[in-house]
Amino acid sequence: MNGNTPVSSKRSVFFVSDGTGITAETLGRSLLTQFEGILFQKTRLPFVDNPEKARMAVERINLAAQGDSMRPLVFSTLINREVRDIVARSNGLVIEFFDTFTGTLEAELGVGASRVTGRSHGIGSYDAYTARIGALNFALNNDDGATTRNYAMADVIITGVSRCGKTPTSLYLALQYGIHAANYPITEEDLGTSRLPTALQPYRDKLFGLTIDPERLQQIRSERRPDSRYATLTQCRMEVAAVEEIYAREHVRFLNTTTMSVEEIAASIILQAGLKRRL
């Protein structure tokens, strides 16, 4: 121990929850995006719902504290007071989300919090589960123009050239919001006429177009089918220009997905198309 002891340069972070840990992790990660240049070693500790598991969590936190020679950050969403008090006595900096805000909300709403665990990402009701799986099946069955006969039942029909983000967006809308999203690829054959493909014409009001910078499209397509004509910059430029011409001519709302995450594309479509979540 003469100054040569290697000191970890990573800050340990724990997300501790009595449920899935999704809330603790979402909130913690959001805060950490504001701190650049620091390496974080993240660990999720879900289903910490009794004192024994709380003590095991504390052991892991304290071990990290010792190894790092720095206090770990602990983001926690624990409802049960006994469990919470055990974790609070760990050697981490404990940021307790529910505890921080529950008092304010109790005062405002004039009732006490129920303090039932595992609610945030639990099953809710069987009806909600059914709605969600129904939406997911809808997205899967109506992916990539597989069939167009269910479009009357769609909340939105996402369209665009191959590999601009249609499928991930449709599945995300289904899983997170229960929205019925179909998607239809505009292919080279559709692009000659500068008109909407016939299958889409009756559903203009449900259409939402995606576009993407040709350079980025080329990158994505090259990962999938390297050295194909499909992945050339010339082809990507031609398709993107043609699809944007259709959007303009046919007054289809659209957005450019080049720098957007699936979450951002989904949130933008919901906002711009005025969709309602079904979950």
Please report, as residue ranges, which positions from 153 to 192 form the binding site for a copy of itself (by CB under 8 A). 167-168, 171-172, 175
Which residue's CB is nearer to a copy of itself, number 105 or number 153? Answer: 105
Bridge-based pairing of strands 73-77 and 156-160 is unpaired
Give the residue with the Cβ less far from a copy of itself, 74 or 154: 74
DSSP-derived letter for residue 71 is: P
Burial (CB count <10 Å: 0-12, 13-18, 19+), residue 249: exposed
Instruction: Between 52 and 245, name the residue whose CB sits nearer to a copy of itself.
Output: 52
Kindly state whether residue 253 participates in binding a copy of itself, applying the rule CB under 8 A: no
Residue 50 in contact with a copy of itself, rule: CB under 8 A:
no
Question: Is residue 113 involved in binding a copy of itself (CB under 8 A)?
Answer: yes
Nearer to a copy of itself, 89 or 224 (CB): 224
The nearer residue to a copy of itself, 31 or 63, going by C-beta atoms, is 31
The set of long-range contacts for 144-147, using a CB threshold of 8 Å and a minimum separation of 24, is: 144/183, 144/184, 144/185, 145/183, 145/184, 145/185, 145/199
For a copy of itself, which stretch binds (CB under 8 A), given 154-162, 182-190, 207-215, 254-262? 254-262
CA distance 241 to 227: 21
What tokens were used for 232?
């050339």
Q: Is 245 or 263 the residue whose CB approaches a copy of itself more closely?
A: 263
- Residue from 56, 129, 187, 215 touching a copy of itself (CB under 8 A): that is 129
Question: Can residue 69 be called a binding residue for a copy of itself (CB under 8 A)?
Answer: no
- Separation in Å, CA 156 to CA 43, 134, 160, 199: 37, 15, 13, 14
Phi/psi region, residue 179 (left: phi>0; alpha: psi -120 to 50; beta: rest), is: beta
Using CB under 8 A as the binding criterion, the count of chain residues that bind a copy of itself stands at 74
Site string for a copy of itself, 85-104 (x = CB under 8 A): --------x-x-xx-xxx-x
Contact status: 122 vs a copy of itself (CB under 8 A): yes
Write the CA distances from 96 to 81, 83, 247, integer angstroms: 11, 12, 48
Question: Which x/- pattern, by CB under 8 A, does the window 217-236 give for a copy of itself?
Answer: --xx--x-------------
Contact segment (CB under 8 A) with a copy of itself among 25-33, 188-196, 206-214, 230-238 equals: 25-33
Strands of the sheet containing 73-77, edge to edge, are 39-45, 10-17, 73-77, 93-96
Closest approach of Cβ 249 to a copy of itself, in Å? 27
What is the C-alpha to C-alpha distance for residues 11 and 34, in angstroms, rounded to an integer? Answer: 15
Q: How many CB atoms lie within 10 A of CB 186?
A: 24
Hunting for tokens 């809308």 — which residue is that? 173
Shortest Cβ 163–a copy of itself spacing (Å): 9
Nearer to a copy of itself by Cβ, of 129 and 187: the residue is 129
